[in-house]
């Protein structure tokens, strides 16, 4: 959310904010302990917006012939060419190794946008979910809508439920969908503003696939907190996030049909919000099993750098210069 706002600010010509020392000091201590020497190179990328890269997800519902030619001239090339287990033909993403970003398109009522600008790593949870035509899908924490748009580039769900608890973010989500998805398909999407922690009880065993792109301590945006007091509050509240994430994950599992799959993702490096949350759900729910996503990781190893030593059901994308994607944590689970 905050990253997207910052991108909008960049589009309007505003200079990047200064790194917040309070947050950096906190990250320095935590991530040096968790990542060791790797943290130094990651820190250099996260604190230098000038080296950040942006991917372009094409909208299959809009004609993009001239756009593809423009991207080629600008040095972009198709991503995800490494033989993925799941890559729908209509799913087209373009990247380049140099920093900078393509101009954003403004929202225009009644006119579909041709592309979505995003961090390429944020597409990995969508590809890991492997949605197929006719499946019932829940995007539990859907705003600002990028992953929902990406899911609809992959397949035509039988039922697609986009949920966002926050009112402002919910409106943003609906506008995003309106900007990318044609009316006949939008009419088949259910929007709700439910507390994600309650959805499992309200809609038990209703979905084949669930995406939990959980609220997290967004490392990129937090490092540029403009208000030191706000930054300090965020760091205090950070300790409570893993509890919320576990509750959301447990609720999502209840909403999942037996045999269904769930993908959990965050955009933080924090072990407490990533592996620890997944390990807790695996140890506390006897009907939940990990799903191996190592083949997907191999298939995208040209584009992304991953933290070593992870389990086969999880991956963590580490930003580095020339491949400044992430952070993005992805884990896949199945309900038995």
Q: How many residues does the chain have?
A: 336
Query: Active-site residue 267, yes or no?
Result: yes
CA proximity to 150, closest of 80, 52, 251, 246: 80
145 is in an annotated binding site: yes
- 213 in a labelled binding site: yes
Residue 235, helix vs strand vs coil: helix
Catalytic residue, chosen from 93, 162, 216, 267, is 267
155 labelled ligand-binding: no
Is 147 annotated to bind a ligand? Reply is yes
Residue 164 marked ligand-binding? yes
Q: What is the largest CA-CA distance in the chain?
A: 53
86 burial via Cβ count (<10 Å: 0-12, 13-18, 19+): middle
Q: Smallest Cα–Cα separation from 318: which of 96, 119, 57, 29?
A: 119
Q: How far is 106 from 55, CA to CA, in rounded Å?
A: 17
Residue 139 annotated as part of some ligand binding site:
no
142 annotated binding-site participant:
yes
Tell whether residue 141 is among the known ligand binding residues.
Answer: yes
Is 143 within any annotated ligand binding site? yes
Rounded to whole angstroms, the Cα distance separating 285 from 10 reads 44
- Is 144 annotated to bind a ligand? Reply is yes
Do 138 and 209 meet the contact criterion of CB atoms below 8 Å apart?
yes
**C-alpha atoms less than 13 angstroms from C-alpha of 209 in its C-beta half-sphere:** 27
Binding site feature residues: 141-147, 164, 195, 213
Residues tagged active-site:
267
Binding site feature residues for S-adenosyl-L-methionine: 141-147, 164, 195, 213
């Amino acid at each position: 959310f905050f990253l997207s706002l910052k991108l909008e600010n960049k589009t309007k010509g505003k200079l990047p904010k200064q790194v917040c020392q309070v947050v950096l000091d906190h990250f320095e201590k935590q991530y040096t302990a968790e990542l060791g020497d790797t943290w130094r190179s990651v820190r250099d990328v996260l604190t230098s917006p000038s080296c950040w890269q942006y991917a372009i997800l094409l909208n299959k519902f809009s004609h993009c012939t001239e756009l593809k030619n423009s991207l080629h001239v600008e040095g972009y090339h198709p991503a995800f060419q490494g033989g993925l287990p799941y890559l729908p033909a209509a799913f087209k993403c373009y990247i380049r190794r140099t920093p900078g970003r393509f101009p954003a398109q403004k929202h225009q009522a009644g006119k579909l946008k041709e592309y979505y600008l995003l961090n390429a790593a944020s597409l990995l949870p969508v590809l890991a979910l492997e949605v197929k035509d006719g499946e019932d899908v829940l995007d539990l924490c859907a705003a600002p809508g990028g992953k929902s748009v990406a899911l609809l580039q992959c397949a035509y769900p039988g039922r697609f439920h986009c949920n966002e608890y926050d009112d402002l973010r919910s409106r943003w989500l609906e506008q995003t969908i309106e900007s990318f998805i044609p009316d006949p398909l939008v009419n088949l999407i259910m929007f709700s503003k439910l507390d994600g922690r309650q959805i499992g009880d309200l809609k038990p065993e209703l979905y084949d696939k669930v995406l939990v792109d959980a609220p997290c301590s967004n490392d990129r945006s937090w490092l540029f907190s403009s208000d030191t007091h706000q930054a300090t509050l965020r760091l205090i509240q950070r300790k409570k996030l893993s509890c919320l994430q576990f509750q959301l994950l447990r609720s999502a599992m209840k909403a999942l049909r037996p045999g269904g799959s769930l993908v959990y993702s965050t955009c933080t490096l924090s072990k407490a919000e990533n592996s620890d949350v997944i390990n807790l759900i695996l140890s506390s729910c006897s009907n939940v099993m990990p799903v191996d996503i190592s083949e997907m990781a191999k298939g995208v190893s040209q584009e992304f750098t991953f933290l070593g030593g992870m389990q086969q059901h999880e991956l963590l994308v580490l930003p580095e210069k020339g491949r400044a994607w992430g952070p993005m944590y992805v884990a896949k689970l199945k309900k038995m």
